[in-house]
Chains A and B, each alone.
Chain A
């Protein structure tokens, strides 16, 4: 039998349900309350606008002493997200603080979609393209969004 769910996770889940963040949803699995299906809408004005991105999020036993594990399931063309959907984001690594929450992390990820950072790349190929021909890279990101990130 697994240990009872910490109060913190219960409260975070409750709040995500009762006061959802606009453009973001996180639904825990019935059989594993530490595993969430996440949906993030591409921010308006970005090349991911109109896209709906699915992610998976897992809270390790040590949470919140360590950050949640999270990755994109939907394919996305972004210099800080690799082909496996892993995300390069400081708050998910060295800058994690136990005072951060699922909510704030998902907001950071949404913000990352709005402001790709090719100077700190995870996906070298995409970052290269982004630096060398930004308008083309943005166009590709738009196409991928249309191709892979549509609702249903």
Chain B
């Protein structure tokens, strides 16, 4: 399917809000503009072949686009633009022989060509322009050779003398090209504004939802002790719901091999898989309180909303890349300056120069990254996960929690006892010799309260294990074997 068609279809069928659609890139119309540029060039006898043949002798049009580089129109650095402040039209400048109307390269002898080839091109253009305009012009330094272009006047005169006396710059206004960029540039502004506004809105939603989740899972709120059983169970459902989410985050890959924001297609796939998991495990229907169910639904809706704006932004970014490529291909005029200013303004949107890789997701990328971080810190973090409270030695919950005081690690008391029994003096995490001096005073009561509150079931289980282990340590393996428990 042709992209233009696919694009129209996505815009029409995905239920994007009217306000978004107003910011969408008008792909069809831009395509028409390109055709016009193409026709205009043809009418001047400048087909693609001729243009590329002339490449060294044609000055690329200046694609100054008002909303992007407004101030450049009045900039002293580009004095030749001072006179055309309001009605600026990109111009194609071709150096021709004033006598014959031939482009210069066609009339030049091979010898002259060779001599001129050695001279810097922009130097030539500047010299030619200076002569033609008859005004003093400081070099406009677009290239890297800043010092060269400020060479002595003598140098410059010498390059003029190399030019045939009747060389003239012919200026070809390209109104249709201006139309193209005038249409495209404000759309990008709109898309960026839309991204900022939607991100803000979704961040608000995330904060609200965070509050709701906090209310639902807070296990021992004052005055709610009677309901404790219920909210404990909901806490566990939420924990499982978030654990599944963290295992395969929707918008961002945390894996070591490819960390980074995901594309719309990938995110969609993950959200569908997540939704399926939730339905299969029946987590949503198991939730006890209506508030918990409501919040869970809100959580899913939030993800759907993020996906939607990602989709819209991504498809627009693709439209932009495609239409710029088309412009280059059909007009043989490179939109280089336009791309450069785009790159400065929206580094997210346009890959760095020289990079062949096109990032098709555009603003969608930053949406995915930013909102993933927001969800993680403002919602998921509310329900602590067991993995974050594991003892670094046995990987089970750090119960009873012991802090050695040398670093922030929290170990389970059994592992510390084991380390002491083995005579391993160093803290497993920071290597300081703190193990042997640990005793009852090293029990971390704050962490203990926290674990009892958020992991009541695990704490009970670990407590039993610890008691058994203590018996084994005190009386030997035989004592706790089932066959010996008849007492």
Task: Give bound CA distance, A38 to B426, whole Å.
Answer: 29
Q: A19 and B394: CB pair below 8 A?
A: no
Q: Is A7 part of the contact surface with B, judged by Cβ < 8 Å?
A: yes
Chain B residues, CB < 8 A from A97: 426, 428-429, 431
Q: B393 and A64: CB pair below 8 A?
A: yes
Of residues 10 through 27 on chain A, the ones whose CB sits less than 8 Å from some CB of chain B are 11-12, 19, 21-22
Q: Is B256 part of the contact surface with A, judged by Cβ < 8 Å?
A: yes
Q: Is A65 part of the contact surface with B, judged by Cβ < 8 Å?
A: yes
Q: Which of B128-136, B205-213, B377-385, B416-424 lies on the face that meets chain A? A: B416-424
With A7-B394, A98-B393: A22-B257 Cβ-Cβ less than 8 Å: yes
Task: Give bound CA distance, A49 to B135, whole Å.
Answer: 64
**Interface majority SS (helix, strand, loop, mixed), chain A:** loop
Task: Give bound CA distance, A72 to B429, whole Å.
Answer: 28
Chain A residues, CB < 8 A from B418: 65
Task: Give bound CA distance, A7 to B397, whole Å.
Answer: 11
Q: Is B392 part of the contact surface with A, judged by Cβ < 8 Å?
A: yes
The 0/1 profile, CB within 8 Å of A marked 1, for residues 383-418 of chain B is 000000000111110000000000001000001001
Q: A8 and B257: CB pair below 8 A?
A: no
User: Which of B255, B422, B429 sits near A65, CB closer than 8 Å?
Assistant: B422
Chain A residues, CB < 8 A from B422: 62, 65
Of residues 78 through 119 on chain B, the ones whose CB sits less than 8 Å from some CB of chain A are none
With A22-B257, A65-B418: A7-B396 Cβ-Cβ less than 8 Å: yes
Chain A residues, CB < 8 A from B395: 7-8, 11-12
A100 — nearest CB in chain B belongs to which residue? B428
Chain B residues, CB < 8 A from A8: 393-396
Chain A residues, CB < 8 A from B424: 65, 98
B283 to chain A, nearest CB (A): 22
Q: B257 and A99: CB pair below 8 A?
A: no
Q: Is A44 part of the contact surface with B, judged by Cβ < 8 Å?
A: no
The 0/1 profile, CB within 8 Å of A marked 1, for residues 354-397 of chain B is 00000000000000000000000000000000000000111110
Chain B residues, CB < 8 A from A62: 422
Q: A98 and B257: CB pair below 8 A?
A: no
Chain B residues, CB < 8 A from A11: 395
Task: Give bound CA distance, A19 to B422, whole Å.
Answer: 32
Chain B residues, CB < 8 A from A19: 255-256
The 0/1 profile, CB within 8 Å of A marked 1, for residues 253-267 of chain B is 001110000000000
B418 — nearest CB in chain A belongs to which residue? A65
Q: Is A4 part of the contact surface with B, judged by Cβ < 8 Å?
A: no
Chain A residues, CB < 8 A from B256: 19, 21-22
Chain B residues, CB < 8 A from A6: 394
A18 to chain B, nearest CB (A): 9
Q: B415 and A98: CB pair below 8 A?
A: yes
Task: Give bound CA distance, A130 to B393, whole Å.
Answer: 38
Task: Give bound CA distance, A53 to B395, whole Å.
Answer: 30
With A65-B422, A65-B424: A99-B255 Cβ-Cβ less than 8 Å: no
Task: Give bound CA distance, A8 to B411, whole Å.
Answer: 14
A139 to chain B, nearest CB (A): 33
B426 to chain A, nearest CB (A): 7
Q: A99 and B394: CB pair below 8 A?
A: no
Task: Give bound CA distance, A21 to B424, whole Å.
Answer: 29
A22 — nearest CB in chain B belongs to which residue? B257
A66 — nearest CB in chain B belongs to which residue? B422
Chain B residues, CB < 8 A from A99: 392-393, 409, 428-429
Task: Give bound CA distance, A88 to B256, whole Å.
Answer: 28
Chain A residues, CB < 8 A from B394: 6-8, 64
Chain A residues, CB < 8 A from B255: 19
A62 — nearest CB in chain B belongs to which residue? B422
A140 to chain B, nearest CB (A): 33
A11 — nearest CB in chain B belongs to which residue? B395
Task: Give bound CA distance, A62 to B415, whole Å.
Answer: 12
Task: Give bound CA distance, A22 to B429, whole Å.
Answer: 25
A107 to chain B, nearest CB (A): 11
A4 to chain B, nearest CB (A): 12
Most buried by B among A11, A12, A22, A65: A65
The 27 listed contacts between A and B (C-beta, < 8 Å) are: A7-B394, A7-B395, A8-B393, A8-B396, A11-B395, A12-B395, A19-B255, A19-B256, A22-B256, A22-B257, A64-B393, A64-B394, A65-B418, A65-B419, A65-B422, A65-B424, A97-B428, A97-B429, A97-B431, A98-B393, A98-B415, A98-B419, A98-B424, A99-B392, A99-B409, A99-B428, A100-B428
Question: What 5 A-B pairs have minimum CB-CB distances, sorted nearest first?
Answer: A99-B428, A8-B395, A98-B393, A98-B428, A97-B428
Apart from A11-B395, A62-B422, list 16 A-B contacts with CB within 8 A.
A8-B394, A8-B395, A12-B395, A19-B255, A64-B393, A64-B394, A65-B419, A65-B424, A97-B426, A97-B431, A98-B392, A98-B415, A98-B428, A99-B392, A99-B409, A100-B428
